[in-house]
Amino acid sequence: MIQNIKHEVIEQLEKEILFGFYNANDLLETISDMFYNEENFDENWLKDEIDTRLKKHQKESLNWAKPTDFDRLVLAFDSLIKDKIIALHKAGYTRQDGEGDCAEIIEELNNNGIKVLGYCYYHTQDLERAIGDEPTLFIGYDSYNHNDELAMDVANKIVKTLETNGFKVNWNGSLETRIQISAINWQKTVDNIDYNYSRVLDILQPNIPIEDDTILNRKRKPFWKFW
């Protein structure tokens, strides 16, 4: 396994650990998928790196002030979900992924007689900005039916909810621009909680059995398939 490939692996691994959504098994699967065409890919080396770096990140997290910005973001998103605005964390890799994930869960809820007003989300590319040199998290949004008047109401509700939870929010009032959380301090460790589909369903339909679990059991797309 050549050195420059190891460097690329570590670069991606460090990002995913900072994002804080994947456990050791998820990381092994995701990163191995990224480098599926590399000969002599050393999974044992990768397992060791994952174990070492996850433990280091977990130890560092013990000194974080609570609640973290992610804790407050969860509270904000949960509040929006209760107000019938779907709010998804780490919804795919691109805007297209995020929009698609929201559309799928809106359809799932609609099939169970639950109507929503709209949705919001952030995706992996947004997280890359959030852990960057100028940490900012962009939030995509729309109404469930892409109606501009309703979308404006949804956007205003998102802004108000984020501000209520202590975030500095920038938005120019145009539906052509996304909502921006400025100076976010992204701190998260893996907790094996699904903050995406399952959380929405748990909040909005806790007493409704899900006969078709296709959505909940969908496989994560390998990174290389995003291109």
Tens of pLDDT along 19-45? Answer: 999 999 999 999 999 887 877 889 999
In a domain, 221, yes or no: no
* Pair (31, 75) in one structural domain: no
In a domain, 88, yes or no: yes
Cα separation, 105 vs 186, whole angstroms = 26
154: which 2 tokens?
A: 């949804």
Per DSSP, the three-state class of 13 is helix
Q: Please report where in the chains the tokens 């949804």 appear, as a residue.
A: 154
Asked if residue 220 has pLDDT above 90, the reply is no
* Pair (78, 181) in one structural domain: yes
How far is CA 204 from its chain centroid? Answer: 19
Check: pTM over 0.95? Answer yes or no.
no
How is residue 218 annotated by DSSP? P
More confident residue, 4 or 90: 90
In a domain, 210, yes or no: no
Listed residue (126, 188, 181) closest to 158, CA to CA: 181
Helix ranges (DSSP H) in the chain:
3-19, 24-34, 43-61, 69-82, 95-111, 124-130, 148-164, 197-204
* Pair (87, 150) in one structural domain: yes
In a domain, 209, yes or no: no
Asked if residue 209 has pLDDT above 70, the reply is no
User: Which amino acid does the sequence have at 64?
Assistant: W
How do residues 112-158 score in pLDDT, each as one tens digit?
A: 999 999 999 999 999 999 999 999 999 999 999 999 999 999 999 99
What is the arithmetic mean of pLDDT over 161-185? Answer: 98
Partners of 121 in the β-ladder? 88, 140
In a domain, 170, yes or no: yes
- Angle, in degrees to the nearest 10, between helices 3-19 and 24-34: 140
Which residue range is the domain that position 117 belongs to?
A: 69-204
More confident residue, 219 or 117: 117
In a domain, 36, yes or no: yes
Q: Which of 58-62, 71-75, 192-196 has the lowest mean pLDDT?
A: 192-196
